[in-house]
Amino acid sequence: MDFSKFEETAGVKFKDERLLKQAFTHRSYINENRDSGLEHNERLEFLGDAVLELVITDYLYGRMRESAEGEMTALRSALVNADTCARVATALGANEFLLLSKGEAKDTGRARQYILANTLEAVIGAIYLDQNYEVAKNFILMHVAPLMEEIIREGTWIDAKSFFQEKAQELKGFTPVYKTIRESGPDHDKHFIVSVSVGNEVYGEGEGKSKQDAEQKAARDALEKNGWK
């Protein structure tokens, strides 16, 4: 597989392209191609996730000098979550290079978004190992950090759970209750679907890689459905 197009878009030239290929290799591909000699990308994803969070934390600490810890935490979460990572991966053309099982390759819905998000983290991990921290940092600042202004403008970084609780208590007299509807996936790649109710009525649902992420999305869904801006 020729990764030159991806490298050009990403702005990084790999010394060891085996690392980049590993970053695009999903566990499902290995399960169907056990003699491929390839490794899946989960260890790289683990490493890249930590590098991404550190770079964005440092970036926000320097940029948001008047902001409190809670505000920076909420904005960091919006910049490193699965939706943002999948969006960046898509913009980089990552879909063209994914190595997936035949079944996973057919699914282009929400599951693919999670795969793309994990792949971006794996690519960051691969850059860190192949080059160094500064190159990985520059990649993140070039492709992820610029989304901050848009995220602030759209308000997607705001703590939706806290805001929804305030509105529910003020307007309905109840504290929202969150319930996990479904939990799926292996331990390394969990997906949660959560509902939020006020009184006996379900107000919204959300899906995420963690219960916290799914709850935030459920709260945001409830806010949008009720026009509680």
> Along the 229 residues of the chain, how does pLDDT read in single tens digits?
889 999 999 999 999 999 999 999 999 999 888 888 889 999 999 999 999 999 999 999 999 888 888 888 888 988 998 889 999 999 999 999 999 988 887 877 778 888 999 999 999 999 999 999 999 999 999 999 999 988 887 766 667 888 899 899 999 999 999 999 999 887 767 889 999 999 999 999 999 888 888 998 899 899 989 888 6
Please check whether residues 116 and 217 belong to one and the same domain.
no
Q: How far is CA 87 from the centre of its chain?
A: 9
Per-residue model confidence (pLDDT) at position 156: 66
The CATH number that applies at residue 191 is 3.30.160.20
Q: 194 and 90 in one domain?
A: no
Q: Are residues 177 and 111 in the same domain?
A: no
Same domain, 202 and 174: yes
| Boundaries of domain holding 186 | 160-226
Could you identify the residue written with the tokens 């499902």? 28
Name residues whose C-beta falls within 8 Å of residue 214's C-beta, 6 or more positions apart in sequence: 180, 192, 193, 194, 206, 207, 208
Q: Report which residue type is found at 185.
A: G
Place of tokens 């926000």: 60
Residues in the chain: 229
70: exposed, middle or buried (C-beta count within 10 Å: 0-12, 13-18, 19+)?
A: exposed
Instruction: Supply φ then ψ for residue 164, to 5 degrees.
Output: -65, -40
- For residues 113 and 194, state if they share a domain: no
What CATH number has the domain bearing residue 148? Answer: 1.10.1520.10
The question of whether 215 is a catalytic residue gets the answer no
Catalytic one among 42, 45, 104, 121? Answer: 121
Let me know if 49 is a catalytic residue. yes
Q: Exactly one of 45, 49, 130, 215 is catalytic; which is it? A: 49
